[in-house]
Copies of this chain bind each other. A is one copy, B any other.
Amino acid sequence: MINQRMYDLGAAPSAIRELFAYGMERKAMIGADKVFDFSIGNPSVPAPEAVRETILKLMDMDPVVLHGYTPASGAPQVRQTIADFIKREYGVPATPGQLYLTAGAAAGIAISLAAICNAGDQVIVPSPFFPEYRIWTEQIGCQLVEVPCLQPSFALDVPAIEAAINEHTSAIIINSPNNPVGSVYTRENLQELAAMLTRKEAELGRAIYIIADEPYRLLTYGADVPYIPCIYPRTIVCYSFSKCLSLPGERIGYIYVSDLMDNARETAIAVAGAGRALGYFCAPALFQYVLQACLELPADVEAYRINRELLTSGLRELGYEFVEPQGAFYLWVKALEPDAKAFSERAKKFELLLVPSDSFGCTGWVRVSYCVSRECIEGSMPAFAALKASYDAE
C-alpha cells in the first residue's frame, strides 16, 4: 500500500552513496589508509575559521531570535546582504524579494522545478548530469530529456538542445562548473544557448527557464564562470554553500530568481509556494546568520588545486585519458573498457572507488572525486598503475 516509486527510490540508493557505503565498510575492514575512496563530493577542506568564529559570536545572541522561525524566504537582513552582494559582484539589479533561502541547492532545484513546471512538461539536462535531477523532475510528473554534451570538450551542444525543445519544454538545468565532468561552460557557449532559447521562447510563445545549479561557482582553477542571469534573463540561480564553505551537512543555500526576467515577481512567488508545498518552512536559522557574516569569503581551493595537479599528472603519466578539469573537484576519466560498471568493479579489487558514468547518464567513464586528502591521491597511484596494468596485460 506504500508508494512503490518511493520504495524503489529508497531501496536503490544512488550509485555514489552505495559506493561510499561500501568504502566505509571496506575501510573498517582493512584500514582507512588502504582504501582510495574517490566516491563522494564531501569537501575535504575544513570550513573557514570565520565560520567557527561567527557561530561562537552568535552564541551571544538572544536564543529566541537566533533559533526562532525566520520568514519562509529567509531573514530579511540576510536576503538583503545576499542581494547587495549579487548586485555588486555581478552588476545585476538583485533585490531581496527575489531571494529564497533554501536547505542547499538540492532543495533549491526541487523547489524551482515545482514552481515553474506543470505535469507533463519536459526538462532538458545536458548529459552527463547529477542523477538526482531526474528524480526531482519525475517527482512532479515531468520528463527529463537528456542531451549529450559535445565530446571531447563536454561543451553544450546547442543545436542538439534546440532540437530537443518543443511545446512541453519548461526548463534546462545548467551546472557549471560541472558535476561530474569538472568542465566550465564558456561565455560564448552560454551566449549561443541564450540566443537559441530566446528564439525558441518567441517561436513557441512559452517561457523556457535556465535553472543554474551553482554549488561549484567558486571552485575553479583559473576559468571564468559567467553569471548566467547576465546572459539570459529567465534564469533561476540555485546556489549552495555546501562546497565553497565546506558546509554540506548544514543544508544552506539560496534560490535567486533573476530580477531581469519579465515574470520575475510571479516566479519568485511560485518559488515560495513550492517551498511551502514541499514541506520547507525556512532554511536553518543559525546558518542563515552565518551566511550573512561569511558570504564574501573566498573558497579555499588550494588543497583541491594541489590534488588536481597530483591526480592529473599522475594519471596522465600512467596513460589514462580524462577531461582537463576546470572547476569543482571531479576528474572525469575514460574507463579502460566500454562498460564503466565493470571497470569500476575491477577498480574495487585495487581498493579504488570510482563512480561509473552510467549513474550520470552516459557510458564509458568514471568520476573521481578528488576532495580527499593529499595522502589518498599519492597513495592511490600504485593502485591506478596496477589497474591499468591489469588491462594492458589482457
Hey, which bits of chain A sit against chain B, CB under 8 A? 1-3, 5-11, 13, 17, 40, 42-47, 51-52, 55-56, 59, 62-64, 66-72, 103-104, 106-111, 114-118, 132, 135-136, 139, 170, 206-207, 246-251, 263, 266-274, 276-288
Contact = CB atoms under 8 A, between A and B. Distances in A.
A285 B250 contact: yes
Contacts of A69: 40, 42, 248-249
Contacts of A280: 103, 106-107
Nearest to A132: B276
Contact of A279 (B68, B106, B273): B106
A249 B279 contact: no
Given A72-B17, A282-B249, A64 B52 contact: no
A284 B6 contact: no
Contact of A277 (B64, B135, B207, B288): B135
A246 B69 CA distance: 10
Given A7-B269, A55-B55, A246-B64, A2 B115 contact: yes
B249 A67 contact: yes
A274 B6 contact: yes
B46 A267 contact: no
Contacts of A104: 281
B278 A278 contact: yes
Contacts of A110: 278-279
A135 to B, nearest CB: 6
B136 A277 contact: yes
A71 B136 CA distance: 19
Contacts of A250: 67, 284-286
Contact of A10 (B40, B170, B274, B287): B274
A206 to B, nearest CB: 6
Contacts of A206: 1
Contact of A9 (B17, B51, B52, B276): B276
Contacts of A42: 64, 68-69
Given A63-B46, A64-B246, A279-B111, A3 B116 contact: yes
A115 B3 contact: yes
B67 A59 contact: no
28 contacts: A1-B116, A2-B266, A3-B117, A3-B274, A7-B273, A10-B268, A10-B269, A10-B273, A43-B68, A45-B64, A46-B62, A56-B59, A64-B246, A67-B249, A67-B250, A70-B249, A103-B103, A103-B280, A106-B280, A107-B281, A109-B279, A110-B278, A135-B277, A139-B277, A250-B284, A284-B284, A284-B287, A286-B286
